[in-house]
Copies of this chain bind each other. A is one copy, B any other.
Amino acid sequence: MEVVNKYVSLKHHVDGYPSESDFELATTPLQPAPGSGEVIVKNLFLSVDPYQLNRMKRYSSSHTAITAASKIEPGQRIDACGVGKVVASGRAELEEGDVVAGLLGWEQYTVVRPGTVLMKVDAKDLPISYYASVLGPSGLTAFAGFYDVCKPKKGEKVFISAASGSVGSLVGQYAKLSGCYVVGCAGSKQKVDLLKGKLGFDDAFNYKEEADLKSALRRYFPEGIDIYFDNVGAAMLEAAVANMNSFGRVAVCGAISEYTNAGERAAPDLIDIIYKRITLRGLLSVDYLHLHEQFSAATSDHLRRGRMIALEDVSVGIESVPTAFVGLFRGDNVGKKLVRVGELEG
């Protein structure tokens, strides 16, 4: 019996806001038996992340920076992190039925080539979706970005943009666990309530209701900001820098408001950066694989003890990937956006 693999691909490069019509669903027959060293994975949860937009552009300086951010050509399958079940294994250390996390793709099945890391996951410990969200690259980004780049001290004042998003929601929780004062911003009342309620932020605000971001931050941080975890760039970064304290640190994790608009830029005041000796640092989770074990152990423990919450926003079916992705840029998602494309059983 021939197995058919449905996958999402680009119709054309995307510059600017993406829309559902930029994508198409295609099918390809799947080889039932893996080649030498290959593993066939039935995908269960796929990660949908804003950075993929940079890969879809005709040109972006990100294309040559790291392999994981290489340019996506129209018609190609699109690799993406996820969790799946091994259905056929050409690797000695994996067998049929194993649940694995790693670089899969926006498709129902992924043929994983030799050399690509697949991490075996204990499906009985924590929900397997966690390995594509809080325990996946978004989690490592939050952990490494907060602890390694921001170097928090107890009592410091932390500001997080896109705070209900995949990374922001975790940074806020790590910051609270570290004894920091934490304020987040997000784009709806529902998200703001969630930050203050379920996630335990000290405060939160809807940036869409603030005419002047600089004075909004002055209101929320009368003693200034020590750490800014930036997921959006542009005007919010400028406002944060203007409100930072001496020796403030900015983790530049994402710039979602710039991804869709090449003309949108942050122009922070260099006089602030110099006189307040502010550090801005870009980060990618790929540089922190050496922290993975520590991150994973600490975070799993927090989750098991209920000290952290995994905020997931799950759509169902491979067909929903384009809408899930496009929705990231409309602020539709609350927490980590995932698409469930298969069931563990069966």
Are A274 and B278 CB-contacts (below 8 A) given A61-B269, A267-B265?
no
Q: Would you give the shortest CB distance from A148 to chain B, in whole angstroms? A: 11
B65, B267, B279: the one within 8 Å of A281 (CB): B279
Query: Scoring A residues 269 to 298 as 1 if CB is less than 8 Å from chain B, else 0, what string do you get?
Result: 111111111111111100100000000000
Q: Would you give the shortest CB distance from A70 to chain B, in whole angstroms? A: 11
How many residues of A sit at the interface, in one of the four size bands?
A: 35 or more
**A42-57 contacts to B (CB < 8 Å):** 54
Question: Assembly of this chain: how many copies?
Answer: 2
Are A274 and B255 CB-contacts (below 8 A) given A266-B267, A279-B279, A280-B279?
yes
Task: Check B275 against A280 for contact (C-beta < 8 Å).
Answer: no
Q: Does A184 belong to the interface (CB within 8 Å)?
A: no
Nearest B residue (CB) for A242: B61
Q: In the bound complex, what is the Cα–Cα distance between A242 and B65 (angstroms)?
A: 12
Task: Check B287 against A282 for contact (C-beta < 8 Å).
Answer: no
Task: Check B252 against A274 for contact (C-beta < 8 Å).
Answer: yes
Q: In the bound complex, what is the Cα–Cα distance between A116 and B280 (angstroms)?
A: 33
Q: In the bound complex, what is the Cα–Cα distance between A66 and B270 (angstroms)?
A: 16
Task: Check A277 against B267 for contact (C-beta < 8 Å).
Answer: no
Among A237, A246, A267, A284, chain B packs the most CB atoms within 10 A around the CB of A267
Q: Would you give the shortest CB distance from A161 to chain B, in whole angstroms? A: 12
Q: Would you give the shortest CB distance from A197 to chain B, in whole angstroms? A: 31
Q: Does A137 belong to the interface (CB within 8 Å)?
A: no
Q: Does A62 belong to the interface (CB within 8 Å)?
A: yes
Q: Does A253 belong to the interface (CB within 8 Å)?
A: yes
B60, B255, B276, B287: the one within 8 Å of A277 (CB): B287
Top 3 closest pairs, chain A to chain B, by CB = A65-B275, A265-B267, A267-B267
Would you give 6 A-B contacts (Cβ < 8 Å), ordered by A? A61-B271, A61-B276, A65-B276, A69-B275, A265-B268, A277-B284
Please give the residue numbers on chain A whose beta carbons come within 8 Å of chain B beta carbons, in ascending order.
54, 60-62, 65-66, 69, 233, 237, 242, 246, 252-255, 258-259, 265-284, 287
